[in-house]
Chain A
Amino acid sequence: MKLHSVLRLAGLLAAAACLTLAYGMVGDWLILLSIPVMIIFWFLARGRSGFRAASGLLAMYVGLGVIGIARHASGLLMATGCVFALLSWDLSDPRGRSSVQARPGQATLLEKRHLQSLGVAAGASLLLAALASALRLTLPFGVVVLLALVLTACILYAVQYLRRSAGHEHRE
């Protein structure tokens, strides 16, 4: 439980540092005013639902990342910041933590598996982001649109399929 809180805070700080650094490198300091805005938002929204507030914060962070990239900030730094923001967001979700009354062994196992999976996801994401930023592919716009449409369709299909199968299992 304590480790979760420490990691969540560390993730938040790292994400904020990445954002600051990326914007600082292009000399766009004014946008950093959004960080106190995000903190105020967090304090105002966490009273209702901590996880929803964290989701709002993550969406805002991604939005800032997109604006940063549009202003020629480093994509790799922004992606790294997104990894830490995602890590912090996931750790704020109670679904990843065991209940207070769970047996110690079982509780540790859930948290261990959760942190392991999170570590794998973060590591793979950083590696893929680094690889992707190193690769320079130039594709025609039409191909990019087509690829994006195919990818969106794949995601939507996967989501629908998972929803349908979950519904079937629930009925059974």
Chain B
Amino acid sequence: MKLDAYRRELRGEVRRLARDPVLLGIVGVVFLLLATFIVFPLIKVVQHSLWPQGAFQPRYFLEFFQKTYYWRPLVNSLIVGALVSLCGTVVAFVFAYGIARTNIRGKAVFRLIAMMPIVSPPFLIALAAILLLGNHGVITDALRLDWDIYGLPGLVLTETLAYFPIAFMILEGVLSKIDPSIEEAALDMGASKLRTFFTVTLPLAVPGIASAALLVFIRSLEDFGNPMVIQGRFRVLTVAIYHAAVGRYNLPLGATLAIFMLLPTLMIFVVQKYYVARRSYVTVTGKPSGIGLKTTERHIKIPILIAMSLLSGIILLMYGVVLYGSFTKLWGFDNTLTLQNYRYVFAVGGQYIWDTLKIALIATPVGGLLSIMIAYLVVRKRFIGRGAMEFISMLNFAVPGVVVGIGYVLAFNTPPVQITGTALIIILVFVFRRMPVGIRDGIAQLQQIDPAIEEASSSLGAGFFRTFTRVTLPLVAPAFLSGLVYIFVRCMTAISAIIFVVSAGWQLLTVALLYEVDQANLAAAAAYGYVIIAIVLGAIVFMRFVVGRLFKGGLAPLRGE
């Protein structure tokens, strides 16, 4: 009986799709793109690991557990991930609590500072850590300290600063949405503020905290930029994959390591999405009042304020020292101010700046349109495979950049799709890497728009395209355009997948920056970093201006992942 009903439904779906050839065509094209540029590279990774020469021969898979130097980087990555997740979440919670639940001053400034790491070039924080805390750093020398920043301490420090903003954004949302009436009830019944915090506020925030901690864990696991600069001998898996695949051209080994990188991130992604996210208590408490209980007691406020100021001070110091470093003649020895580093960047890296801008300017609108198109299909249309489309398009959210990178090298170096060495492969990496965020935001936006408006357009005789471009797009425009800014920023700052696909004709700024860091040309690296920051800020200001003129609502606030 049940099967029959299912069959009938399926037949209905097929008939509906057949009646709408435009939709059918678009769904087909989208699926073809997703299969080629998301699924196919992953299949290639598995194939090269287990069937390296066509025959089943999982040599490295078996050796992985036998050779210390294969499994150790995974363990190291997990250790770093756990510590960064812990530190990052704690720091983020203090920040989020200070902003969402107290009446301290300067919240806008604190929030701005906390967002800085999100829009900054990948190596900037690690670079700052070396300038300040390296064996010959400013602070190390001033305090005559004898410590070693390279390795685990440096990794935890830099990644905590780089990724706590993600946790902060989640936790700020969670803390400001907790229904204050529950806390009020506890207080009315005579519980102290402290008791209320530990028995009411904290438990209500637990799913949000878990979500934040897991996301930070994933971001730390897949981090490539910071370890590349500061890992010392504490080898992590992303760097091992890069060296195996690009350094040694041992693709079966690289692919095998990539699988061991993929397993934990996919697991965490699934746990986060299907277990933790569903236990959210904040969404079921009804309308968030937005007024929330604000802590006003000084003995709580002041320690929080001090902690926040300290952390903000550290972030500003790091950005400041890199800015200063970019103007010094010979960092550490001749601190005469000079423009020579910027002259060098424009002389050697002028072409990179153009290449990066060109690629970003193509990838940004393409990625934005494709995301909104998929979001539209998923929310508004009914067709077979809709769930699969959503899942596949969101998959790259959980796939680490280095895995995407090695997958693209394996998949697109030979026909039928031979595009290594072209700008196209870089553009494709950007488009498909950044799509999940665009799709997620697009879905959220579309769900708030009454479909009746689009139905009116359809019943007045407009076709699929006309309705999409004339009705839907204008309605989601602010979110769409802020999505564009996000994609552009990530194009300017991405490194992990990109490092695998850059070529002679197409070099990117972040790769040039990595090269200078690797050469220990710290001042030149700092200058590259600030050129990237200038472009990113310029783009944000430009978009805000354009969008502010075009649309009343202005730009939606920039979001991270």
Whether chains A and B associate is: no
**Could you tell me which B residues sit within 8 Å of A by CB distance?**
none
Q: Which residues of A contact B (CB under 8 A)?
A: none
